Amino acid sequence: MTPVFEITARDSQSQARAGKLTTPHGVVNTPAFMPVGTQGTVKTLSIEELKACGIEILLSNVYHLSLRPGQKVLEAAGGLHCFMAWEGPILTDSGGFQVFSLASLRTINDEGVIFSSHLDGAVHRLTPEKVIEFQRAIGSDILMPLDECVRYPCERPEAERAVARTTGWAKRSRESFMKVISSPEGARDPLRDFSAAPRPRNDEMKDGVRPLLFGIVQGATYPDLRQEALERLLPMGFDGFALGGFSVGEPRGLLFELLPETASRLPAEKPRYLMGMGEPLDLVEAAACGVDLFDCVIPTRHGRNGLAYTWEGRLNLRHAAFETDPKPVDPACECWACRTYSRMYIRHLLKSDEMLGLRLLSFHNVWFYGRLMAMIRLGVTRNQLTGLRERLANLYQPRLEEAFP
């Protein structure tokens, strides 16, 4: 049987590794970046454009999808892949983060959470079991269990309470996951039940590849608490591990103080996912700590705000300096936005609130991220990651207030 995760190369100067993660909808080359498709769409981009950017896996979200369009619609479509016409792997976030940040939270106890939707105020209840059942019903490839995500700064007693609750929920999630994938209904591959559904795209896919469930290691900024959380998750038999509770407002310096040790303690043979972090320099530095999967809204959200990620650093295309600049957004980039349009034209589109401007910069940024991840993988394979780390450190120096707020 195909191994779930195979490490194909290691960097000799760091903990970075390159690998292949096998899911029911194909293989993902790691380290990989997952653009965020919260509502079943990566904002402004088509599936064809995402593929052109070299994107192999998308992230979507239980919180948003369960509120709208809801399970009934997604099941009628034959699952999320068919609904959004994406044939590749999808990781679904459990919604814990959104419940704690977006919704107006009514109650949280060991049973689950009760919250009011940010859309219409309707009251909903999420339990670890419901979250797993929903992800399975929509055909997710990598499922995440419900977790309690705390903010920075977080006092120790609160962090301890969140770890205890997240661990209890993880155990129930794992039990529920085993139940749904072993039942005849749950084992059914939604792709086989709908003749109009896209076929799996990868020849390497073999029968017997089942969805994966990751455990989420919380513990805020307390290394011993993160260690304790991990030790409690390990015996449960997760397919991979996510580091949660980072990128929640902590200083960048603190994150990179904690990350090397936290990541190195995760089982070496399983995929590691750092949730929610994604400046270019962060990606290469976290990959150097041995992280395999990333997701972030940055390339599309910042693209919509006029910010371009380039091999010259960040450029704010709204700036007056670009008013008569005929160069492409990034002269070193081969994406169609850069091959076709000038900085001055895109600046004009942005200033005029024209949708094409948002689309072009979102596309260019996701392309940049796709290329960046390919370069990280190549850097690991050829043992040349150090050069890329230095190049990005020069281009994307963290702003002082990010490093030492």
Interaction of residue 333 with Zn ion, rule CB under 5 A: yes
DSSP readout, 257-301?
A: HHHHHHHHTS-TTS-EEETT---HHHHHHHHHTT--EEEESHHHH
Sheet holding 112-116, edge to edge: 104-109, 112-116, 123-126
Interaction of residue 45 with Zn ion, rule CB under 5 A: no
Number of neighbouring beta carbons within 10 Å of residue 110: 9
Structure tokens that stand for 197 in this block: 């559904």
Q: Identify the residue whose tokens are 């993660």.
A: 21
Structure tokens that stand for 27 in this block: 């293989």
Tell which one of 34, 50, 298, 335 touches Zn ion (CB under 5 A): 335
Kindly tell me which of 259 and 308 has the beta carbon lying closer to Zn ion.
Answer: 308
Q: Which of 141, 239, 295, 330 is catalytic?
A: 295
Helices 280-288 & 252-264 angle (0-180, nearest 10): 30
Select from 141-149, 168-176, 284-292, 358-366 the region that touches Zn ion (CB under 5 A). 358-366
Kindly tell me which of 54 and 260 has the beta carbon lying closer to Zn ion.
Answer: 54
Catalytic status, residue 295: yes
Q: Which of 11, 93, 239, 330 is catalytic?
A: 93
Interaction of residue 338 with Zn ion, rule CB under 5 A: yes
Interaction of residue 364 with Zn ion, rule CB under 5 A: yes
Distance CA 315, CA 392 (A): 15
Kindly tell me which of 233 and 329 has the beta carbon lying closer to Zn ion.
Answer: 329
Interaction of residue 359 with Zn ion, rule CB under 5 A: no
Select from 76-84, 103-111, 291-299, 362-370 the region that touches Zn ion (CB under 5 A). 362-370
Kindly tell me which of 145 and 303 has the beta carbon lying closer to Zn ion.
Answer: 303
Distance CA 254, CA 321 (A): 35
Shortest separation between residue 92's beta carbon and Zn ion, angstroms: 29
Number of H-type helices and E-type strands within the chain: 17, 16
Distance CA 109, CA 237 (A): 25
Interaction of residue 315 with Zn ion, rule CB under 5 A: no
Interaction of residue 296 with Zn ion, rule CB under 5 A: no
Kindly tell me which of 17 and 359 has the beta carbon lying closer to Zn ion.
Answer: 359
Q: Give 232's Cβ-side CA count (13 Å radius).
A: 19
Select from 31-39, 59-67, 275-283, 333-341 the region that touches Zn ion (CB under 5 A). 333-341
Run of H or E including 294:
strand 293-296
Shortest separation between residue 334's beta carbon and Zn ion, angstroms: 7
User: Which residues are bridge partners to 92 per DSSP?
Assistant: 60, 143
Distance CA 11, CA 381 (A): 7
Shortest separation between residue 79's beta carbon and Zn ion, angstroms: 32
Q: Identify the residue whose tokens are 């976030």.
A: 93
Structure tokens that stand for 202 in this block: 């990868």
Shortest separation between residue 330's beta carbon and Zn ion, angstroms: 5
Catalytic status, residue 120: no
Shortest separation between residue 339's beta carbon and Zn ion, angstroms: 8
Shortest separation between residue 50's beta carbon and Zn ion, angstroms: 14
Residues in touch with Zn ion (CB under 5 A): 330, 333, 335, 338, 364
